[in-house]
Amino acid sequence: MSEAGHYSTQTTIEDAARLALLQGKHQQAYQLLMDALKTYPRFARGYFLLSRIAYDFKNHLKEVEMLFAALHVEPDNVEFIAYLARAQVLVGNSSDAHELLMRAEKRQGHTAEIYDLMGVTYNRLSMYQEAAVCFQRSIECNSDNAGVFFNLASTLKFCGDFPAARTAYEHAIALKPDYFKAHAALTSLGGISHEHNHVARLRELLEKTVNADDSLCIAHALSKELEALKDWSGSITVLQRAKQKKLAQLLYDFSRDKAIFEKLEQSYSVVSRSKKSGFHNNRPLFVTGMPRTGTTLVERILSSHSQVASGGELYNFSIEFKRLIGSVSGEFISDEFFGHINREGLDKLGRAYIDSTDYLLGNKQFLVDKLPLNILYAGLIIDALPAAKVVCLDRNPLDTIVSNYRQLFSFQDSTFAYSLSLEHTAHYYVAFKQWTDRLLAIYPDNVYRVNYEALVSNPELEIQALLKFCGLPWQDDCLHIERNAKPVATASAVQVRQPITAAGIGQWKHYAAHLEPAINILENAGLVFDL
């Protein structure tokens, strides 16, 4: 007798499959559902649960397939629609996901879970105001979920409502005192003083925390608060301990990233490259560079212009490239990718990127894509989109290294693993600098380097040059980023709500005692910089 034969109805089969999934018995649940579908080919919940199994194994193409099958049976099921919207985002079909969310908005039967799912998907689409509404509706349905309060708080932060974000983070922590991400995010809102801080609470949490990722979250929060209190030595010491713990777990060394930069060097020479191939569309303005070098500042300057929309940090180009070469890698970039570059597919790649970002344009002429490490794809971006402009930020190397080291990144892939060590970050900066020098030599009409120190010291002059490069007429609003009400979803979300300031210059000096190895790496590479 088949697995499904033990159960008499679709309802009992669904219950049994859900129980198996809760117990981590994916194979048992899969076999039960597959057997059931032979008897009940219109078993919509069966297809839905198969999609959940596909999601757990990160097989998002299969997830999409199963959700389409479920919706074929029950086309008005808002739960299926919402899950399919998220799945479409995960496979890179952003426009399809947006259409599905619009469809879900018109349906009945939303639960707290569905509203939360829609909010998460809106966030992935850089539609933060819509996301905030969904999270608020989820809380109206169920106010006991700490995760939804966290999602709401993060979205309110992106939208610039910092008091409401602070309240929502505190709600999340009250519901779940060891919500490590919430503690780190709360600290990122600033407002730390000797009278108002969480140092004691964070120290206590850190002492109890064993998991390396959780320790890193709390250590970053504590480090940031100690820094605000001008305890520079305590700030970097607590960070070093947690980062060393995570570095030992990842077993990272710079050779992985070195291989990527070497492949880039091999793939792109200073020889003039043909612009006949590729998809000609001048809409994209890519703002790139190493993180924490002023990329958000430049995005806010450009998106203050009346002709420019902001897409936030978009992974669309890397997703479309991986789709083109048939890669299912979870890595943002790998040295293996470059063996698959085929100039015959450049037009298709450029067109796919443009199509995937259509929903963000509105009535504007240009769209800013501000994913800093798109710099690694910059050569391919320009080959696929010959009319695109790539702006690359350059900041004092020591400020860059320290700022990257002090930033809490996600380590779901190895993209930011270099930031776990000051020395690795220094090596990464050297390779980044060499790569951007090469890009400027190959693509002088497409790539423009902005010096952060010059920009914040003489903003009017530098912004005029930046706008000219992008083909934009001067507008005074670009000088006043504090008036820009558009959402911003980066680590600089708080700072860029304020006027342009040079206060960030020279922050590395607080940590000079720890930087001798990094300085030696920079000097050995022949880089000239001010000490």
Task: Provide block-wise average pLDDT over 10 residues at a time, the chain (531 residues).
Answer: 58 91 93 93 96 93 96 97 97 94 96 98 95 98 98 96 97 97 95 95 95 96 97 97 94 93 82 66 97 95 97 93 88 83 82 95 96 95 96 97 95 92 98 96 96 97 98 96 82 76 93 96 91 76
How high is the pLDDT of residue 275?
Answer: 54
Does 234 map to a domain? yes
* pLDDT tens track for 115-173: 999 999 999 999 999 999 999 999 999 999 999 999 999 999 999 999 999 999 999 99
Strand partners, 231: none
How high is the pLDDT of residue 1?
Answer: 41
Q: Of 251, 275, 297, which residue sits at a domain end?
A: 251
Across 112-143, b (16+ Cβ under 10 Å) vs e yields bbbbbbbbbbbbbbbbbebbbbbbbbbbeeee
CB of 268 closer than 8 Å to CB of 438:
yes
Does 32 map to a domain? no
Encoded tokens for 184: 């780190």
Same domain, yes or no, for 242 and 292? no
Does 378 map to a domain? yes
Same domain, yes or no, for 247 and 268? no
- Domain at 423, CATH number: 3.40.50.300
Same domain, yes or no, for 300 and 189? no
Same domain, yes or no, for 480 and 372? yes
How high is the pLDDT of residue 265?
Answer: 87
How high is the pLDDT of residue 343?
Answer: 65
Q: Among 328, 421, 326, 316, which Cα is nearest to 370's? A: 316
- Number of domains, the chain: 2
Does 111 map to a domain? no
Same domain, yes or no, for 366 and 274? yes
Quote the strand ranges of 63-156, DSSP E.
none
Same domain, yes or no, for 365 and 456? yes
The 3-state secondary structure of 25-78, one letter per residue: CHHHHHHHHHHHHHHCCCCHHHHHHHHHHHHHCCCHHHHHHHHHHHHHHCCCCH
Does 50 map to a domain? no
Same domain, yes or no, for 373 and 464? yes
Domain range holding 298? Answer: 255-524
Does 150 map to a domain? no
CB atoms within 10 A of CB 24: 10
Same domain, yes or no, for 391 and 512? yes
How high is the pLDDT of residue 216?
Answer: 96
Same domain, yes or no, for 448 and 310? yes
What is the gyration radius of the CA atoms in the chain, in angstroms? 24
CB of 100 closer than 8 Å to CB of 81:
yes
Same domain, yes or no, for 381 and 396? yes
Does 98 map to a domain? no
Q: Of 251, 275, 300, which residue sits at a domain end?
A: 251
CB of 343 closer than 8 Å to CB of 520:
no
Same domain, yes or no, for 451 and 503? yes
Q: Of 202, 235, 251, which residue sits at a domain end?
A: 251
Q: Among 455, 504, 454, which Cα is nearest to 481's? A: 455
Task: Enumerate residues 6+ apart whose C-beta is below 8 A from 375.
Answer: 288, 289, 290, 390, 392, 432, 435, 436, 439
Same domain, yes or no, for 406 and 453? yes
Does 367 map to a domain? yes
Encoded tokens for 117: 């799912």
